[in-house]
Every structure is written in structure tokens, then in C-alpha cells.
């Protein structure tokens, strides 16, 4: 009788666990499907207001109580005057409004997948910006796939086509595909030690043909078209294939140089299109950039007479992604603790 009772209890626990597990899996699956269909959200940040809050906080700590009270009185007076002026100028033309600086961040990967967000951000800016405004893109990329960065550069060109001034700021690196994007701008600024240039094309591929032959492994590859495959990882590469592949690289390099010449006609492309990179201090002497200044200083200076607005397009992580990350962290922590335990108390 006791055995039947224990078995029934065990069976009930098992069924409960299975149902709970199935429920969790169903929730994750539903969340994943919902997330796949969900569009991202546009985040608009008033950077000018953030800078103002920082200034007020620092001032609050620096001034004495008496000086702080006096400043608050003066601020109230100024606010009333501004409110009156704003009321009077309500009927004025659009030219009387304060120009804006729209800030977009772009940190590119090898395949420039971030361009999907960039296109949404640029579209949002173009819907509200005027020729009196300016767009600042803070760019960081060491380059990657030419066709991907070509698309990213085309997205930036949309801003210029709308006659809106475009500035690219490089704090760390804008090389190869990164510089392909940067050169589209009306003005390129960089930090003194940022890396720029690398106007060249590179391709590399391992070849395991000798390893396969050594182990008596045959490899077959069928193609239609003489140059459908020039170099391969497993087949035996030929001089003819190498020559064609090199020809394609040279063609891409020429297109890269033409792209730069189109957007920076004053730059002596041949002297810099060697694949070399330059630090900001040197880059300005060869005309790769126009000014040495960090993005922080550029925004701070612009804030004196412009309203600075940050634009970001982001897709929020769904439940499935969050649970996956939490599970991964839990496993990592468990392994770490187990490793530490075994170090202290070896068996």
C-alpha cells in the first residue's frame, strides 16, 4: 500500500513537471514568433535637455545656498521672458525656430547588419529635418563586406540628396568600409588618434586540398560557367583562377576609389588608396578628414546654438531571448562555481 502511495506521488510530480515544462516551451515559442513579427521602436532623446540637467546638477553642488537661491530666481525670470517671447513669435515663420542637430550612432560589424537600423533612423530624420538642420553620425567600423558597406554609404547619401548637411564623426576607427561610409559626408571630423583610411580590398581563403589528398579524400565540385568558382577551399586552385580572382579584387578597388573621388574630389585618391591607415593627426594632412575634434566636443559646441536630438532605432529583446541569455549566464555561473570548488577541494 505504501509503495502504491509513493508511486502515485512520484507520478503526480512527474506529470506536473512535464506540464510545467511544456507550458514554458509554449510561452517561449509564442514569444519568439511574436518577436519575429514585431517591428523595432524609435527612441528619441533630447540630448540638449540632458546636458542642461548635468549643468544644473554640477551647479547645485558648487554654489552656496544663497547663490543657488539667487540663481533660481534669475532662472524663473528668464523662463517668464522666454515664455513671453515664444508667445509673441508663434505666428512667425519657420525660419525663426532654433536649428537642430540630429545625432545617429553607427557601430558597424563585418556584415554591416546595423544598416537595417540606420535606414530607419535616416528615414525618421528625413521626415522632420530641414536644410537648416544638420545630421551627425558617430561612426565606428573597421570595415567588412564591400556590398554591405556600399548599402550603408547609400543610406547616408539619402541625407545629402535631401540637402541636409551631413557630418561624420570618428572617435576610434573608420577604415575600409568604414571610410567608404565616412567619405559620403560633407564634413569628416575625428579624434586625434582615431584610425582612418585602409582604402583597399582584401580577400583570403584557406585551402585544404593537400590535406584531403594526404588522407585519400576525393573532392568534387560541379559548376556551369568558366568563372563560377575561381578559388575554392577544398579543390585544387589554378593560376588562371587566381588571376581572375585578383582581377575581381582590382575591379572592386577601382570602384572604391571612384566612390571616394565622387564624394571627396579634393582628395588625392591615388596617394592614399594604398591600403594604409592614418591616425587622425596625420589623416588631416592628407585630406582624409576636415577637422580634429571628438564627437563629445562637437555636440557640446553645437548645443550652444542648436537643439541636439538623438535618434535610435532598436528592437527590444523578447522573452525567449531574455530567457536564453539568463539560462546561458546561469550555466556559466554554475560551471565557474564548480571549477572553483574543484580547485579548492580537488578529489
Domain boundaries, the chain: 41-68+96-198+276-314, 204-268
User: How many Å apart are CA 318 and CA 314, to the nearest integer?
Assistant: 12
Per-residue pLDDT of 165-188, as tens digits, reads 999 999 999 999 999 999 999 999
Q: Kind of pairing, strands 307-314 and 41-46?
A: antiparallel
Per-residue pLDDT of 202-235, as tens digits, reads 888 899 999 988 999 988 888 898 888 888 899 8
Whether residue 84 lies in the annotated active site:
no
Angle at 265 between CA 270 and CA 99, to 5 degrees: 140
User: How many Å apart are CA 139 and CA 152, to the nearest integer?
Assistant: 11
User: How many Å apart are CA 235 and CA 211, to the nearest integer?
Assistant: 11
What is the topology classification, in CATH, of domain 41-68+96-198+276-314?
A: 2-enoyl-CoA Hydratase; Chain A, domain 1 (3.90.226)
User: How many Å apart are CA 188 and CA 167, to the nearest integer?
Assistant: 6
User: How many Å apart are CA 270 and CA 257, to the nearest integer?
Assistant: 8
Contact 269, 257 (CB under 8 A): yes
- The DSSP code for 304 is T
Whether residue 240 lies in the annotated active site:
no
- The DSSP code for 234 is S
Q: Answer yes or no: is pLDDT of 2 > 80.
A: no
**Counting beta carbons within 10 angstroms of the beta carbon of residue 199, is it exposed (0 to 12), middle (13 to 18) or buried (19 or more)?**
buried
Give me the helix-helix angle, 47-62 and 65-88, nearest 10°.
150
Q: Which residues are within 8 A (CB) of 306 and not within 5 positions of it... i.e. 6 or more apart? A: 48, 98, 99, 100, 101, 134
**Given the residues 64, 88, 228, 347, the one annotated as active site:** 228
User: How many Å apart are CA 53 and CA 61, to the nearest integer?
Assistant: 13
Percent of the chain whose predicted confidence (pLDDT) is above 90: 57
Alpha carbon distances (Å) from 241 to 52, 141, 218, 255: 61, 31, 20, 21
**Given the residues 176, 190, 198, 295, the one annotated as active site:** 176
Per-residue pLDDT of 303-312, as tens digits, reads 999 999 999 9
Q: Answer yes or no: is pLDDT of 290 > 80.
A: yes
Cell representation of residue 220: 568534387
Closest CA to 195 of 273, 154, 143: 143
This prediction has a pTM of 0.74
The pLDDT value given to residue 171: 98
Amino acid at each position: 500500500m505504501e509503495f502504491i502511495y509513493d508511486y502515485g506521488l512520484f507520478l503526480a510530480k512527474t506529470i506536473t513537471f512535464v506540464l510545467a515544462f511544456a507550458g514554458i516551451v509554449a510561452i517561449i515559442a509564442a514569444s519568439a514568433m511574436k518577436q519575429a513579427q514585431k517591428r523595432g521602436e524609435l527612441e528619441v532623446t533630447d540630448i540638449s535637455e540632458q546636458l542642461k540637467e548635468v549643468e544644473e546638477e554640477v551647479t547645485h553642488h558648487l554654489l552656496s545656498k544663497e547663490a543657488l537661491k539667487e540663481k533660481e530666481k534669475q532662472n524663473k525670470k528668464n523662463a517668464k521672458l522666454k515664455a513671453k517671447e515664444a508667445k509673441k513669435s508663434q505666428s512667425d515663420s519657420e525660419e525663426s525656430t532654433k536649428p537642430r542637430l540630429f545625432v545617429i550612432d553607427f557601430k558597424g560589424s563585418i556584415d554591416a547588419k546595423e544598416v537595417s537600423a540606420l535606414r530607419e533612423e535616416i528615414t525618421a530624420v528625413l521626415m522632420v529635418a530641414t536644410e537648416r538642420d544638420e545630421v551627425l553620425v558617430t561612426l565606428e567600423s573597421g570595415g567588412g563586406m564591400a556590398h554591405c558597406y556600399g548599402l550603408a554609404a547609400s543610406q547616408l547619401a539619402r541625407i545629402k540628396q535631401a540637402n541636409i548637411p551631413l557630418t561624420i564623426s570618428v572617435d576610434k576607427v573608420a577604415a575600409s568600409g568604414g571610410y567608404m561610409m565616412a567619405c559620403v559626408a560633407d564634413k569628416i571630423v575625428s579624434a586625434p588618434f582615431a584610425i582612418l583610411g585602409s582604402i583597399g580590398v582584401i580577400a583570403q581563403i584557406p585551402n585544404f586540398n593537400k590535406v584531403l589528398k594526404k588522407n585519400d579524400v576525393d573532392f568534387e565540385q560541379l559548376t556551369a560557367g568558366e568563372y563560377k568558382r575561381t578559388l575554392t577551399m577544398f579543390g585544387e586552385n589554378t593560376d588562371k583562377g587566381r588571376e581572375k580572382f585578383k582581377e575581381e579584387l582590382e575591379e572592386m578597388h577601382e570602384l572604391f576609389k571612384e566612390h571616394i573621388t565622387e564624394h571627396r574630389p579634393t582628395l588625392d585618391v591615388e596617394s592614399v588608396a594604398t591600403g594604409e591607415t592614418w591616425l587622425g593627426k596625420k589623416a588631416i594632412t592628407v585630406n582624409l578628414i576636415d577637422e580634429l575634434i571628438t564627437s563629445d566636443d562637437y555636440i557640446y559646441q553645437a548645443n550652444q546654438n542648436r537643439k541636439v536630438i538623438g535618434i535610435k532605432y532598436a528592437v527590444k529583446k523578447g522573452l525567449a531571448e531574455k530567457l536564453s541569455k539568463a539560462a546561458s549566464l546561469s550555466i556559466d555561473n554554475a560551471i565557474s562555481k564548480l571549477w572553483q570548488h574543484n580547485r579548492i577541494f580537488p578529489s
